[in-house]
Amino acid sequence: MDSFKGSVSSETSGMCIAQSVKSLYPACQVEVLCVGDGGEGSGEILTKALSGEIIPTRAHDALMRPCSAFYGQLPKGRAIVEFANTCGLAQLAVHERNPRLTSSYGCGEVIKQAIDAGNKEIVLCLGGSATNDGGMGLLQALGFRFLDSKGRELPGCGDSLRDVSSIMEDDAVSMLAGVRFCILHDVMNPFYGADGAAYVYAPQKGATEEDVVLLDNGLQNFACVLQAYGGVDVQRIAGSGAAGGVAGGCISLLHADVESGIEYVLQSIDFHKHLSGCDLVITGEGRIDSQSFMGKVLQQIVYYSNREGVPVIAFAGQVSDDVCAHDYGLRGVYEIHPLGFPLELAMKKEHTLKHLSECVVRVLDSGEFF
């Protein structure tokens, strides 16, 4: 299972389903595999899968308020940093969301602490962001400075993108020497434009129509400055719009490699080996819609399972009306909450787990799958 964002984690939903299956079929062998696509929870999942240790620390959230944070310390000088842990959308109340003001600075602080601890490879999970600053905040925490046309340093936030005129990296050179970056993304969107970071994702982060236009214009300006400075046209790189353009900023200035978050996670947990001898794969997430099949958890699990001839069913808090299970290679897709159940209550952990368990039992009790 992926997480039900804002409600229950991948592990918690997986254990709930495992118990429900065992209540019907006590002899059934059930394995719970925690997955994510680079978003909320992916840092802990990968740290555990790769025999790492969670290192607690402190940083700032997307509104620059002090918050608890962590990075995953892996063997051989590698560290996992999860963007959503500090600057994630789930960390903000609905009325606080404003991608013109939010900053990725806090995530950069955690990266700096991981580097200061001696790590030479940083794996950055980019999903679930509350920001649209092109990575300015994160990069500022690592020693870069962004100046306007009058030489004044700008704060790292969405509103600053349109005013960036030049980049200084004096403080970043020594800090980043010999450090390799790998970013795990969950989307393929470009940096700007109709399919870019602002137009597609800023509205769910609190942006108005006017805000979206300003942010997209800012990303276009920032892309030009990045290209003039480092020679990289981020607009041409698929996925550069991930996390409000953080991916593009990291690709340009940190020379980061880019990998699919779900592919990286599935490889880390040996998903393909677990499919051997498997009779049924159960997956799901908070909401299943057409975007769930654009390089995210659901699509890749279905792809690899079907390739091995293993049927897949999925459960979700919400299922979009335009999702037909068979069109996407699923044996079945099920919305767990009763018709008309209030969204505010549906997001609460106790209701999610209760309805998830009841729905799983109802579906599997038909005997169709076992």
Give 246-279 pLDDT, tens digit per residue: 999 999 999 999 999 999 999 999 999 999 999 9
Q: Answer whether 59's CB lies under 8 Å from 69's CB.
A: yes
Segment 17-23 shows an average pLDDT of: 96
Is the sign of the CA dihedral 348, 353, 359, 363 positive or negative? positive
More confident residue, 77 or 3: 77
More confident residue, 27 or 293: 27
pLDDT at 325: 84
Half-sphere exposure of 107 (CA within 13 A, CB side): 38
Segment 344-353 shows an average pLDDT of: 92
Q: Answer whether 281's CB lies under 8 Å from 248's CB.
A: no
Nearest to 162 by CA among 173, 151, 174, 149: 149
pLDDT at 169: 92
pLDDT at 7: 84
Could you give the CA distance from residue 265 to residue 126 in angstroms, rounded to a whole number? 13
Give 64-117 pLDDT, tens digit per residue: 999 999 999 999 999 999 999 999 998 999 999 999 999 999 999 999 999 999
Q: Could you tell me how far CA 102 lies from the centroid of its own chain?
A: 17
Class of 42-262 per CATH?
alpha beta
Nearest to 201 by CA among 288, 131, 100: 131
Confidence of residue 37 (pLDDT cuts 50, 70, 90): confident
Rg over alpha carbons for the chain, rounded to the nearest Å, is: 21
Q: Which residues of 78-107 are buried (b: 16+ CB within 10 A; e: fewer)?
A: bbbbbbbbbbbbebbeeeebbbbbbbbbbb
Give 141-197 pLDDT, tens digit per residue: 999 999 999 999 999 999 999 999 999 998 888 889 999 999 998 788 999 999 999
Packing angle, helices 42-49 and 261-268, rounded to 10: 30
pLDDT at 294: 67
Nearest to 167 by CA among 212, 114, 219, 224: 224
Confidence of residue 205 (pLDDT cuts 50, 70, 90): very high
Q: Which residues, other chains included, contact 40 with Cβ-Cβ below 8 Å and sequence gap of 6+?
A: 3, 5, 82, 84, 85, 88, 90, 127, 128
Q: Which residues in the chain are classed under CATH 3.90.1510.10?
A: 42-262
Give 108-129 pLDDT, tens digit per residue: 999 999 999 999 999 999 988 9
CATH number of 10-33+274-364: 3.40.50
Q: What are phi and psi of 58, to 5 degrees?
A: -130, 150
pLDDT at 295: 66
50-to-267, 269, 276, 283 alpha-carbon distances in Å: 10, 8, 21, 22
Packing angle, helices 349-364 and 10-24, rounded to 10: 40
Q: Which residues in the chain are classed under CATH 3.40.50?
A: 10-33+274-364
Give 293-322 pLDDT, tens digit per residue: 766 788 899 999 999 999 999 999 999 888
Beta strand pairing status for 281-288 and 312-319? parallel
Q: Answer whether 201's CB lies under 8 Å from 244's CB.
A: yes
Could you give the CA distance from residue 284 to residue 359 in angstroms, rounded to a whole number? 12
pLDDT at 291: 72
Size of the chain, expressed as the number of residues it contains: 370
